[in-house]
Structure formats: structure tokens, C-alpha cells
């Protein structure tokens, strides 16, 4: 039986990304899917080095990634 882990947004590693991290520990053979996957390699280690099979908006490329990085950046106090 094939197993898939689906997560909406892999841009940074915060609380929500701990969920697929833990699921992949239980099912290390599972495939990973995400709408957006722009995790850095040092963060990807927590997902067993898996790159998500992307579908949707993450296929738009570098310009979209730069936009998303600016849009998700926390405001400085």
C-alpha cells in the first residue's frame, strides 16, 4: 500500500511543519506532496531530506518564490 503525506505550505519550519515531520517518522516510505515547497536544505533534514512532489503554484519559479518570501517575512518591530 502506498502512503502519501500532503502539506499545504513548506516555506519555513514552524509549528505546522512539525506535523508532516512526525508523520514521516511513522511512515518513512511515504511520498511527500505540497502546493509550495521552498524549504532550505538545512530545514529539509527534518523531513528526512525528502523534497515534496509539487503541484500548483510552486511551479511558477524564482519570481514567485521571491514574492512568497517577502509576503511571509515577519515584520520587524
Asked if the structure places residue 32 within a domain, the reply is: yes
Asked if the structure places residue 49 within a domain, the reply is: yes
Residue 26: give the domain boundaries.
4-72
Asked if the structure places residue 11 within a domain, the reply is: yes
Asked if the structure places residue 77 within a domain, the reply is: no
- pTM (two decimals): 0.69
Q: Is the pLDDT score of 58 beyond 60?
A: no
The pLDDT tens digits for 9-55 are 888 888 888 999 999 999 999 999 988 888 888 888 999 999 888 77
Work out how many domains the chain is built from and give that number: 1
More confident residue, 70 or 33: 33
Buried b (16+ CB within 10 A) or exposed e, 38-73: bbeeeebebbeebebebeeebeeeeeeeeebeeeee
Asked if the structure places residue 44 within a domain, the reply is: yes
Asked if the structure places residue 16 within a domain, the reply is: yes
Amino acid at each position: 500500500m502506498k502512503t502519501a503525506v500532503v502539506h499545504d505550505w513548506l516555506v519555513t519550519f514552524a509549528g505546522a511543519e512539525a506535523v508532516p515531520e512526525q508523520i514521516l517518522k511513522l511512515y518513512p516510505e511515504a511520498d511527500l506532496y505540497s502546493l509550495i515547497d521552498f524549504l532550505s536544505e538545512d530545514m529539509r533534514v527534518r523531513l528526512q531530506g525528502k523534497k515534496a512532489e509539487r503541484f500548483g503554484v510552486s511551479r511558477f519559479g524564482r519570481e514567485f518564490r521571491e514574492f512568497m518570501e517577502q509576503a511571509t517575512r515577519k515584520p520587524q518591530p
